[in-house]
């Protein structure tokens, strides 16, 4: 049943006690990846009734208590639903690059939202690092085919649906839907080709959610949660179950039954696409996802052409470097460079999705002499980024050969979710060489001996080092250490300790045990 036959797309769901992992494969290749852990509360998309804690006119922003450990951050222009709705029209469905935002004068916002007043907001960006979540008063509730926009009058069809006839059909359906008063509605991209009854069913489900939110706004005390985004499985079924998905395979019987029910609400025709996996081999290994995940999150990503990418992710930005590596085969050097850059552009778009990288991204493409080649690489990256659900903004390749882009950051990247800083290098990615540590060690031995230079007898020192450094001291630095002893009246005894960091060492009095220097305490 679970052989090597490849569908256009497959959704593989791995249920484990501490996490849920979902892989989207396209012709067997990892195309998208989601991970959710019960211990990490997912709040993006959730709607809260909060209290204004502080207004910062200088920042043009406020801080809102929504019942979480950290107060949420909201821009002034996102605090008034009417203004937020105006900006959503400009920046959401038909985003304009230079939407003007009102500048609030000191004290003006405090008249509308005094400290302690209540406000209903939705989380657009989770807490990252030391920063609290980002919120907006412009609410949106996604369904399978529709997005409900409370507090607006906006109605429209996703601009990603380009067929003119289909757009007209969807607009007619939209006009006949019973939309609650003072609510906008957007037809999602996945709605293309859907039947009228599907829209009516989706509208009913959204109306129930809206009613619950309205009841909570009226009856519940702030801070409280009014609406919670579904878990990752339901979100993937809602957002990723398109016509080109051949099957959804899951390794948990309980979740298998739940997913079948979820899919049946969308379309009874596709209920049969949900399959239960009960093989002895872990599901991600069976479908070759585990190996692809291991490769996907390496710092260096190899390309089929022989070139490779290098990802360096920092708190402020992500730098991606492209190298030709072992690439051969083109007639000229320029052709070789263009081929590697084009392949890199496709892979970078995929990697940004897989790693859930957000914020500023700087891409150092291999220098190309011809402007038309630069434009071709730029278009390739831009076209591949259209598959991304996160918003992206991309600038042409600069005269320095760099491409700057941004990608919407809603949550921690997969790297930050899955990995921790190495306790050995503390996140630097490198440690000092044995030579560097030896130089530092000898400097501090000399310092200790100089401080005791008035002593008539030799100063016995015990020096504790990592075995890797001990190897260096024995084989290459013996003469310099003997010179230290002779020149500064010392008697050095070296001890190896495998529990000591390779960059650390201890210098103590060999007889009394008094600690004279420790690099561990620095």
pTM score, whole prediction: 0.72
Nearest-angstrom CA–CA distance, 484 and 275? 73
Q: 3-state class of 245 per DSSP? A: strand
Degrees, nearest 5: CA angle 45-51-55: 100
Q: Walk me through the domains of the chain, giving residue ranges and CATH numbers.
A: 9-40+233-290 (3.30.420.60), 47-228 (no CATH), 299-418 (no CATH), 434-521 (3.40.1260.20)
Q: For residue 164, give both structure tokens.
A: 């003119």
Nearest-angstrom CA–CA distance, 43 and 228? 7
Nearest-angstrom CA–CA distance, 311 and 415? 11
SS (H, E, C) 280-294: CCCHHHHCCHHHHHH
Peptide bond into 168 cis (omega under 30): no
Nearest-angstrom CA–CA distance, 92 and 160? 12
Condensed to tens digits (0 to 9), the pLDDT of residues 408-467 reads: 876 666 666 667 777 777 666 778 889 999 999 999 999 898 887 667 678 899 999 999
Helix ranges restricted to H, 220-288: 232-240, 253-266, 283-286
Tokens 């320095």 map to which residue? Answer: 400
Nearest-angstrom CA–CA distance, 313 and 145? 35
Residue segments in the chain with a per-residue pLDDT below the cut of 70? 1-7, 82-101, 266-267, 327-330, 410-418, 426-428, 453-454, 456, 521-522
On the CB side of 242, how many CA atoms lie within 13 Å of its CA? 13
Handedness of CA 159, 162, 168, 174 (dihedral sign): negative
Strand partners, 495: 464
- Residue 397: exposure state from Cβ atoms within 10 A (0-12, 13-18, ≥19): buried
**In this predicted structure, what is the pLDDT of residue 402?**
93
SS (H, E, C) 408-474: CCCCCCHHHHHCCCCCCCCCCCCCCCHHHHHHHHHHHHHHHHHHCCCCCCCEEEEEEECHHHHHHHH
Nearest-angstrom CA–CA distance, 360 and 473? 45
- 508's CB contacts (< 8 A; 6+ apart) are 461, 462, 464, 514, 515, 516
- 214's CB contacts (< 8 A; 6+ apart) are none
**In this predicted structure, what is the pLDDT of residue 215?**
93
- Give the chain's length: 522
**In this predicted structure, what is the pLDDT of residue 391?**
84
**In this predicted structure, what is the pLDDT of residue 58?**
87
Nearest-angstrom CA–CA distance, 368 and 383? 20
CA 467 from centre of chain: 39
């Amino acid at each position: 049943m679970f052989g090597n036959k490849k569908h256009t797309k497959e959704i593989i769901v791995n249920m484990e006690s501490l996490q849920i992992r979902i892989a989207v494969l396209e012709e067997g290749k990892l195309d998208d990846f989601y991970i959710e852990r019960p211990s990490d509360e997912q709040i993006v998309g959730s709607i809260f009734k909060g209290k204004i804690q502080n207004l910062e006119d200088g920042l043009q922003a406020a801080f809102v208590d929504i019942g979480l450990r950290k107060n949420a951050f909201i821009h002034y222009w996102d605090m008034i639903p009417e203004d937020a709705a105006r900006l959503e029209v400009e920046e959401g469905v038909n985003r304009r690059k230079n939407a003007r935002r009102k500048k609030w004068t000191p004290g003006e916002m405090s008249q509308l939202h005094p400290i302690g007043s209540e406000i209903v907001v939705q989380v657009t960006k989770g807490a990252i690092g030391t920063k609290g979540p980002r919120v907006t008063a412009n609410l949106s509730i996604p369904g399978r085919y529709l997005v409900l926009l409370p507090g607006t009058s906006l109605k429209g069809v996703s601009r990603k649906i380009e067929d003119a006839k289909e757009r007209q059909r969807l607009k007619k359906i939209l006009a006949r839907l019973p939309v609650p008063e003072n609510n906008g509605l957007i037809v999602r991209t996945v709605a293309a080709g859907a039947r009228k009854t599907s829209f009516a069913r989706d509208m009913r489900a959204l109306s129930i959610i809206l009613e619950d939110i309205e009841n909570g706004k009226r009856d519940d005390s702030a801070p409280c949660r009014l609406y919670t985004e579904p878990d990752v499985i339901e979100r993937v079924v809602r957002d990723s179950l398109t016509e080109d998905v051949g099957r959804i395979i899951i390794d948990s019987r309980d979740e298998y039954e739940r997913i079948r029910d979820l899919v049946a609400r969308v379309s009874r025709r596709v209920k049969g696409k949900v399959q239960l996996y009960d093989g002895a081999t872990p599901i991600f290994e069976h479908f070759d996802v585990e190996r692809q995940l291991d490769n996907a999150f390496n710092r260096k990503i190899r390309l089929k052409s022989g070139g490779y990418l290098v990802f360096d992710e920092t708190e402020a930005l992500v730098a991606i470097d492209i190298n030709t590596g072992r690439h051969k085969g083109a007639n000229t050097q320029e052709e070789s460079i263009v081929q590697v850059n084009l392949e890199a552009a496709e892979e970078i778009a995929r990697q940004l999705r897989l790693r859930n990288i957000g914020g500023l991204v700087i891409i150092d493409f291999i220098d190309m002499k011809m402007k038309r080649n630069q434009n071709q690489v730029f278009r390739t990256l831009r076209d591949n980024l259209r598959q991304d659900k996160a918003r992206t903004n991309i600038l042409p390749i600069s005269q320095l050969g760099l491409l700057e882009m941004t990608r919407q950051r809603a949550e921690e990247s997969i790297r930050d979710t899955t990995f921790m800083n190495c306790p050995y290098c503390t996140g630097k990615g490198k440690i000092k060489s044995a030579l560097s540590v030896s130089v530092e060690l000898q400097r501090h031995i000399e310092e200790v001996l100089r401080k005791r230079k008035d002593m008539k007898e030799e100063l016995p020192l015990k020096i504790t080092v990592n075995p890797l450094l001990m190897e260096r001291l024995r084989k290459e630095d013996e003469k310099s250490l003997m010179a230290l002893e002779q020149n500064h009246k010392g008697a050095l005894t070296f001890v190896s300790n495998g529990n000591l960091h390779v960059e650390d060492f201890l210098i103590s009095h060999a007889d009394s045990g008094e600690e004279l220097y420790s690099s561990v305490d620095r």
